[in-house]
Amino acid sequence: MTSQDHIAIVEDSVEVLKLLSDALVAAGYAVSTYGRAIEFEASLAVGVPSLCIIDLGLPDKDGLGLVSHLANETDASILVVSGRGALDDRIVGLELGADDYLAKPFEVSEVVARVRALMRRRAPAPASVEAKSEHIFAGWTANLTEFTLTHKDGVSKRLSASEAALLAVFISHANQLITREQIQIALDDRSDSLSFDRAIDVRISRLRSKLDDTTRNPKIIKTIYGAGYIFISD
């Protein structure tokens, strides 16, 4: 654990809030809890947690809007825990920037395991790229420790922790074919294959969008159908 391992839980159920908080404190994390979105949003002015656990069914605001705000304005990792377990809701959450999605009812041990995996992902760079936080390719400069992506024309974009982790994997395998299985192992993602496939599709799509890499004719992240991906870099 580090002093930065701070988790915020936004959940309107007092019972669930206490259950999660107690389990995460026991696991060694510093935890702040909020029953309403407005309370949590006010706290962001003081500091942004390393990871936020967000319930979609909040009484004062749609949790998906909160997910979108966190993904676009902060570098916090985001775990959605929700009773809305339909696949479409999961995909929308991921498309808006959530790093993981866990449907209720859940085992508390599973939440703790997902949190640990996301925390590990916040320091994602393999040994080959750890020593260098900035990487320049195709007119972009990626800072994997600050989670930023800056174009040579000065435009800067924020990466989520999971997007930075995925980009680190691609950079460490530049100009090589990398399979989905290799990506899953590198990210230490223990999701089932269907969940991982849908999540990685969304994450690659978001990363391509931030790199202005067109889906129809990508120049940076190329899909090799039936095999995997090649990250084109000089």
Per the CB < 8 A criterion, the answer to whether 128 and 139 are in contact is: no
**pLDDT given for residue 4 in this prediction:** 56
Calculate ∠ Cα 5-10-16, nearest 5°.
100
In angstroms, the CA 160 to CA 208 distance is 13
- Per the model's pLDDT, the better-predicted residue between 76 and 124 turns out to be 76
**Least confident span in 130-134, 164-168, 184-188:** 130-134
Alpha-carbon distance values, 28 to 23, 60, 99, 121, 132 (Å): 9, 30, 21, 17, 29
Percent of the chain with pLDDT over 90: 52
Query: Strand 156-158 relative to strand 148-151: parallel, antiparallel, unpaired?
Result: antiparallel
Per the CB < 8 A criterion, the answer to whether 37 and 63 are in contact is: yes
In angstroms, the CA 54 to CA 11 distance is 7
**pLDDT given for residue 132 in this prediction:** 60
pLDDT digits (tens, 9 = 90+) for 75-104: 889 999 888 656 566 778 888 888 888 888
- Per the model's pLDDT, the better-predicted residue between 92 and 65 turns out to be 65
Calculate ∠ Cα 78-40-77, nearest 5°.
15
Helix (H) or strand (E) holding 171: helix 161-172
In angstroms, the CA 52 to CA 71 distance is 11
- Output the average pLDDT for the chain: 86
**pLDDT given for residue 41 in this prediction:** 95
pTM of full prediction above 0.95:
no
